Chain A
């Protein structure tokens, strides 16, 4: 028996046998850590966790509710290495310092610790999680029928639809007639960066400059550049005659430029945030801003700010006067469409004659029908994706169609009873619809990123689309048949001659 004792003594005194019950060597500890799974239960305890991005999720100390877990943070391990290479960015200096300097033994939970944790839990959750009971209503409701695929993917994107069996009445080229470069164009859904004048100039706002492209000659002029590098142009709109261009900027200015002389005529300030939308009604220029306010400017007088329309609580991204100048339609980021009269009401204040709330997304696409008065088309953003046609006098929605994709712009054709809409994810296409049947005539594909704006040439034959892929594509989709064109011109001239005869 004494030999056992002696052997034990020897064992203790010898330094080269492995020591039982010793803490593991650092490299052994690390190997064990990288092998074993990190046992943290789902840390998605919402009230406490700040909405931070992914890289912080494995490193923030996970405070498990009410659980008396150890507070020591697992340091990120390097795979299998036995030399510890410090990584400063992933180290938590404060944590390390705290752990080194605190006095209590962290392994054992002292009663005060438990109290503290409980107090924290109550503070952060608003109640003691331990004390809360979680109840679930039993008897699950009927799930959606068997055949139902979760159609979110279909809801928010659209796959290529097979070509319609009915032949198109006319030939619409599927390729654009021309592609122009639009470098640095701002990929912001809420801005209106292109417009085509009646004198055939296409104005394009590229970040802080505005360029004019002459469709007839093809030449490009840089009209203006913002002084401050951080400012940008947020909207452009031509006056009906095509000699003045209104420019809305990010620093809340509305500028008026003379094209012939390439000079700025006026700089109208009245807004307090960026001016994302503009619309002309003879000499009245209406501007919509990020605050939701719409201002009317009389550009002929010094005191230009003649009226304020407050009907939106978020950015006004769609703004259009009707062709007869009686109504102004405005669409905002608050999902509302307001129809404003051209004159003030009895109280002297402007109030909308109609407000449409059916859209579930921002309404940027707003367009009046040129051949039917009081008919308005609107399109909703990503959350909505519907195109709606309204009669603004009665306030009824004449039709609604699901476009399956964010609608950025709608334009009615003056040559055919159709309208065209521009879309985003997933196909970035332009769709031509027949009115009033709402049947798809064709889809124009080509853009590789979402379409932002549409505008039409003065003859109504070409549509220009600006997209986030930094290109402008010109589509000859509403080209009039030359025979029909001659007939139309004849009809127009015939009318005027009859009037002439009548006056004799």
Chain B
């Protein structure tokens, strides 16, 4: 049984790594929702995390929806069966996919058997996560404005033989037809590595 990760300990265990990555997704998704204007900015509040001031939602329904996902992610990350998390932003009126934020997860499966924690300082991981989140914030300088009201969807790519838990359903990949893509930074906990990219619909005029 992997041990719980103490905050001051240097070692990273599988469970600790799953926790770190799941937490990153929670704050990352909140940042995306704020920066892209999916929900009114007044419904977000500031919290301190990773040495940054981040914006998280205060809307209770949205909060519980995100918590569900993060809980599930944490479990699947621990079992190393999740490969990708995608945030799809689509227009409400015509369901056209406008933006697609993709987070690829590479899991080192050998960590399952090991019991000794890996060496990587919390601070180093925090610094890497901080860079990714700052990049997400900075993408606003080149992503096209979302003119219409949009909704978001969360897709998770898992192993084929996984039993679909209740509340989840199967879905298609929801790609963007004519897209431009930008790779963002990645971070690693030595057990999980997360690569981020954002794809957006190319503007119709040159």
Contacts and interface: CB of A to CB of B under 8 A. Distances in A.
A132 B159 contact: yes
Given A42-B175, A132-B160, A358-B53, A151 B41 contact: yes
A225 B160 CA distance: 66
Interface string B31-48: 000011111110000101
B83 A127 contact: yes
Contacts of B199: 44, 46
6 contacts: A42-B175, A133-B160, A137-B72, A144-B38, A144-B149, A153-B145
Interface in B41-76: 41, 46, 48, 51-53, 55, 59, 61-62, 65-66, 68-69, 72
Interface stretch (A6-14, A49-57, A94-102, A109-117): A49-57
B154 to A, nearest CB: 6
Interface string A142-161: 11110011111101100000
B109 to A, nearest CB: 12
Contact of A133 (B92, B141, B170): B170
A139 interface: yes
A383 interface: yes
Q: Which of A49, A132, A142, A151 has the most CB of B within 10 A?
A: A132
The binding surface of chain B is classed by DSSP as mixed
A150 B134 contact: no
A43 B178 CA distance: 8
A130 B66 CA distance: 28
A333 B29 CA distance: 23
A290 B137 CA distance: 20
Given A44-B179, A134-B171, A137-B154, 10 more contacts: A46-B100, A47-B195, A134-B157, A134-B158, A134-B172, A135-B158, A135-B169, A141-B61, A152-B146, A359-B53
A136 interface: yes
Nearest to B136: A383
Interface SS of A by simple majority:
loop
Interface of B: 35-41, 46, 48, 51-53, 55, 59, 61-62, 65-66, 68-69, 72, 83-84, 92, 100, 102, 104, 106, 134, 137-138, 140-141, 145-151, 153-160, 162, 164, 167-173, 175-183, 195, 197, 199, 202
A382 interface: yes
Interface in A271-311: none
Find the residue from A139, A149, A360 having the highest chain B CB count within 10 A.
A360
A79 to B, nearest CB: 19
A41 interface: yes
A168 interface: no
Nearest to A143: B151
Contact of B104 (A47, A136, A138, A142): A47
Nearest to B38: A144
A141 B169 contact: no
Given A127-B83, A141-B62, A357-B53, A42 B153 contact: no
Contacts of B92: 143
Interface string A333-367: 01100000000000000000000011111000000
B147 A153 contact: yes
- Closest 7 CB pairs between A and B? A42-B175, A136-B171, A152-B37, A141-B65, A44-B179, A131-B160, A358-B53
A135 B149 contact: no
Contacts of A439: none
Q: Which of A49, A133, A358 has the most CB of B within 10 A?
A: A133
Contact of B178 (A45, A57, A130, A145): A57
B149 A133 contact: no
B151 A140 contact: yes
A44 to B, nearest CB: 4
B99 to A, nearest CB: 11
Nearest to A45: B175
A229 interface: no
Given A47-B104, A133-B157, A138-B169, A383 B141 contact: yes
A46 B157 CA distance: 14
Contacts of B35: 383
A46 B181 contact: yes
Contacts of A142: 59, 61-62
Nearest to A146: B149
A126 interface: yes
Contacts of A335: 52, 134, 137
A130 B160 CA distance: 8
Contacts of B69: 137
